[in-house]
Chains A and B, each alone.
Chain A
Amino acid sequence: MTAIAPIRVLVAKVGLDGHDRGARVVARALRDGGMDVIYTGLHRTPGEVVAAALEEDVDVLGISLLSGAHMTLVPRILELLREARADDIAVVVGGVIPDEDVEALGALGVADVVLQDTPPDEVVRRVRAAVATRAR
């Protein structure tokens, strides 16, 4: 891997939840951190998100959820990624996620869960770390 290839990230909002403040702050922080960022916009289905991640050939898929539906929607996305043999894409989840679900998501294969009030610089570091772990 050459040092200059920027990390490619798809930031996605899934489900009916419209709270996109966090997703847009994260998208901008990652862009300012030197990554190529694509933002899906709202109300995407798991299928649409996975198709977009494949088409854009991303390293990281960031999924933002504040609706509480993460334990329904995130496993579905992971499953679709596996079916597409694209589980090398690091999945990072952000939003309002209870502690026990943070652990559960990790066990399912989510690379990291970034909770509210995580400073922009730390988000950038953790996304880089998630990619580095996957690349090994």
Chain B
Amino acid sequence: MFDADAVDRITRQRQEWEANELRQFVERQPESRDECRTLSGLPVQRVYTPEDVAETPFERIGFPGQYPFTRGPYPTMYRGRLWTMRQIAGYGTGEDTNKRFQYLIAQGQTGLSVDFDMPTLMGCDSDDPRSLGEVGREGVAIDTIEDVERLFEGIDLPSISVSMTINPTAWILLAMYVALAQSRGNDPNTLSGTVQADILKEYVAQKEWIFPIAPSMRLCRDMIVYAAEHMARYNPINISGYHISEAGATSVQEVAFTIADGIAYVDEVVRSGVEVDRFAPRLAFYFVSQADFFEEVAKFRAARRIWATVMKERFGAKKPESMRLRFHCQTAAATLTKAQPLNNVIRTAFQALAAVLGGCQSLHTNGLDEAYAIPSEQAMKLALRTQQIVADETRVPDVVDPLGGSWYVESLTNAFEAEVLAILRKVDEMGGTIKAIEAGWFQQQIADSAYETARRKGRGEHVVIGVNKYVEPTAATPVEVHTVDPDVERRQVERVRAVRARRDQARVAALMDRLAQEARDPSVNLMPTTIELVKARATMGEIVARLKDVWGTYVERPVF
């Protein structure tokens, strides 16, 4: 990037500085540590100079909105439009969560994000014995399309983007969302939003799986292809590193495993005969923003560059939109502590700033009560205000990729990229992502990192303020905590039973038979029949149970 003479001059100046100022100073006052590393373990120098990026062609950094998109997916970034402030919410029934949505919209939130309860995530109806104690607890309970109608009551779907955090049952929720839009006269092409639907990271990290890998990948393909044909503004998958990080992976592993998952999805859809540029522009990503500030900024920049290169060189994409990585970001829940909970506000603010400096497209900031329960209204408001302060007071959004050109950040971006590429080569050598998952390789790598982090925290090497440094005697919980309405479960159970009793049973039965038949033929797209089923008031649990008969369930070999 710099001419050789200039770099030589800088090298000489650096050597002089090391021999004089630095040496004398360190003799008087030694540094506190011999060696510094990032949270992922990448070595970090004392100081960086143009020498560290001399070998990097400027084209690998380039301009925002231009291949390889290191500096951002769009030319103007936040000068054009701020990131979407998207606080996730979900608890109780559809009406309960609808109230929280209305509140967040009134507070200036610009996108919606739905959290579902465990039974909905796992495809159990609210009256299933396995749902006992979990209905409406960690998210909103959805059994039928009528619950989705209540969830979005009074919210104009084409005018706000809606993200749904759901995986093995994602295609049913997508079907309900489309069916709701159609019943209101909205063309699915007008809908914007995201369904998470990233099943591979479930086998690896979050562990919400139902079916074996092959039919689960087919469901992802069905959603991607359906969206490519009918939902021009919708992201049918959110390829997620967040959960991989929360399960214990380093940031390097997070990005490597997520890109590996992305490669597997593109392979799956291309194999079914759909041209890569037909669907790749709508693939979206989701990363954590962890505690190591500069490593995270470098991570987001490296992830964009790696994905662009993969799409262009590995898959032969032609459209720039197919190569540009767009991502949602969430601050790191696993960094938040039960001890001294107000500290969590500060942690989250720094993580949010790293996400913005790294060029996220939407952001969720965690509530300070994360380690206690799902967030209270007060905690969510403060988390949203944190984003608004970054947006409107810091002036950070005024310049695109303001850390671009920092010798440190560019050098770290390069180092991060090299580590990720090494892992991707290893995955290829193992026969690809799915083979590596089946072998338990990702799972073991994550377990190893999680254990190492726990031990380092225990030894005090990984400092967590209030936990292993500046510890105070335990005080009573000083935060307002969300409580669960004990009556939700009963109401929701009655509701799903009432819907089952009054629908056209013959129609549901006929559609179920059709679904089972189509499920046996992997070339059929299951979205159209699922949409008809949810319109006919089939429950999520019934649809899942029928497909379990056809496909069976995934069996995990747990590693620790």
Binding site for B on A (CB under 8 A): 15-21, 23-25, 27-29, 31, 37, 39-43, 45, 67-69, 71-73, 96, 98-99, 115-117, 119-122
Contacts and interface: CB of A to CB of B under 8 A. Distances in A.
8 contacts: A16-B118, A23-B560, A25-B450, A28-B560, A40-B558, A42-B556, A98-B372, A121-B458
Given A15-B134, A16-B121, A16-B122, A117 B464 contact: yes
Contacts of A115: 338
A116 B466 CA distance: 13
B133 A69 contact: yes
A120 B454 contact: yes
Contacts of A20: 207, 247, 558
Contacts of B130: 15-16, 45
Given A16-B122, A68-B484, A120-B455, A24 B134 contact: no
Given A25-B451, A42-B558, A98-B373, 9 more contacts: A15-B133, A28-B447, A29-B451, A68-B373, A68-B374, A69-B132, A69-B134, A116-B371, A119-B455
Given A20-B207, A21-B247, A39-B558, A117 B119 contact: no
Contact of B119 (A16, A25, A37, A99): A16
Interface residues of B, number: 46
A67 B138 contact: yes
B128 to A, nearest CB: 10
B206 A27 contact: no
A116 to B, nearest CB: 7
Contact of B560 (A24, A68, A120): A24
B338 A117 contact: yes
| Interface pairs A-B: 6 shortest CB-CB | A72-B133, A119-B458, A18-B207, A24-B560, A16-B118, A69-B133
A24 B133 CA distance: 24
Nearest to A71: B133
Nearest to B334: A21
Contact of A18 (B131, B133, B208, B481): B208
Contacts of B51: none
Interface string B366-377: 000001111000
A132 to B, nearest CB: 22
Nearest to A41: B558
A134 to B, nearest CB: 24
Contacts of A99: 476-477
Nearest to A117: B467
A17 B132 contact: no
Nearest to B167: A18
B468 to A, nearest CB: 8
Contacts of A42: 207, 556, 558
Interface of B: 118-119, 121-122, 124, 130-134, 137-138, 202, 206-208, 246-248, 334, 337-339, 371-374, 447, 450-451, 454-455, 457-459, 464, 467-468, 476-477, 481, 484, 556, 558-560
A42 B555 CA distance: 10
Contacts of A16: 118-119, 121-122, 124, 130-131, 134
A67 B133 CA distance: 9
Contacts of B118: 15-17, 67, 69
Identify which of A31, A45, A119 gathers the most chain B CB atoms within 10 Å of its CB. A119
Nearest to B336: A116
A24 B476 CA distance: 29
B338 A67 contact: no
Given A41-B558, A68-B138, A117 B133 contact: no
A115 B337 CA distance: 11
A104 B484 CA distance: 17
Identify which of B248, B451, B559 gathers the most chain A CB atoms within 10 Å of its CB. B451
Nearest to A20: B207
A22 to B, nearest CB: 9
A125 B546 CA distance: 47
Contacts of A45: 130
B246 A21 contact: yes
A41 B134 contact: no
A48 B338 CA distance: 31
A41 B556 contact: yes
A49 B174 CA distance: 35
B558 A120 contact: no
A24 B372 contact: no
A121 B454 CA distance: 10
B134 A67 contact: yes
B52 to A, nearest CB: 35
A116 B319 CA distance: 46
A42 B459 CA distance: 29
A96 B122 CA distance: 20
Nearest to B483: A98
A24 B448 CA distance: 10
Contacts of A24: 447, 450-451, 558-560
A68 to B, nearest CB: 5
Contact of B454 (A19, A29, A41, A71): A29
